[in-house]
Structure 1
């Protein structure tokens, strides 16, 4: 198993690391909130643990050398002045979103979601904190984007 991840991202390079860790995270709509008075956007995600132990015959764990796992992860964005969304219906509290990537944009951070949906966090200097919560659990398969 891997260790608990706790990160703080303050620039584009840091956000690339966080984006890689959150790729294919599952986010319940009920576990997202924008707190405008505090300029914060928070969410709880079930992230796939891409950073698993590397297999003995290769540089990455992507070939299935270790059992696939997920872990709950708290993600906190500060410095957020507005949140816009496309293709996300917040009234569907029981629905789940699949996060593909975080993309910095001028004056914003885009959360790219499957199905062409987006959440746009607007703000001048958005900082992100990520912290794993609880124990990982096994999942039957690794996410597959059909790119082979």
Structure 2
């Protein structure tokens, strides 16, 4: 399986990234905001929706996602400082405010969100290593 590397520079691009990270599992300790660099980054175990491998349950891959031009970060619906916190990423959405700036919202299972105020939309997703068989295939109602 080829490692995935994507860049999003507009809302349409971000929809593609969002589809590839749907149902990713993230530990709260694996995300953070580097204010001086204006970058928000996170590590995740993403579910590979394009693979039929993994004994019918699919595959997961370690991946990194970061956003540049970030001016503020707000968390809602979970404790970002919880050392054992685990989140499930459902979708990523971009809402322009005063183009090219806008709001990136990472929507999490259970109603939590991470809201990024950005000067412009620039996101990069990259797989970081080997894949492994998923314990289960995510299901949605």
TM-score (normalised: structure 2): 0.90
Unpaired runs of 5+ residues, structure 1, are: 54-60
**Equivalent in the alignment of 2:135:** 140
Q: Distance in 1 between matches of 2:112 and 2:130?
A: 29
What displacement does 1:94 show?
1.3
Tell me the SS of whatever aligns to 1:91: coil
Deviation beyond 4 Å, 4+ runs, structure 1: 64-67
Structure 1 position 126 matched with structure 2 position 125: no
Structure 1 equivalent of residue 91 of structure 2: 101
1:83 aligns with 73
Q: Hey, what does 2:25 align to over in structure 1?
A: 26
The CA RMSD measured in Å over matched residues stands at 1.7
Counterpart-to-counterpart distance in 1, 2:136 and 2:81: 30
Q: Give the whole-Å Cα distance in 2 for the aligned partners of 1:38 and 1:71.
A: 27
Q: How many residues align?
A: 136
Q: Does 1:114 align with 2:109?
A: yes
Q: 1:85 to 1:136 in 2, by over 3 A?
A: same
Counterpart contact for 1:22–1:47, Cα < 8 Å? yes
CA distance in 2, matches of 1:45, 1:6: 14
1:124 shift after superposition: 2.2
Could you tell me the TM-score, scaled by structure 1's length? Answer: 0.86
CA contact under 8 A between 1:79 and 1:123: conserved in structure 2? Answer: yes
Structure number with higher strand proportion? 2
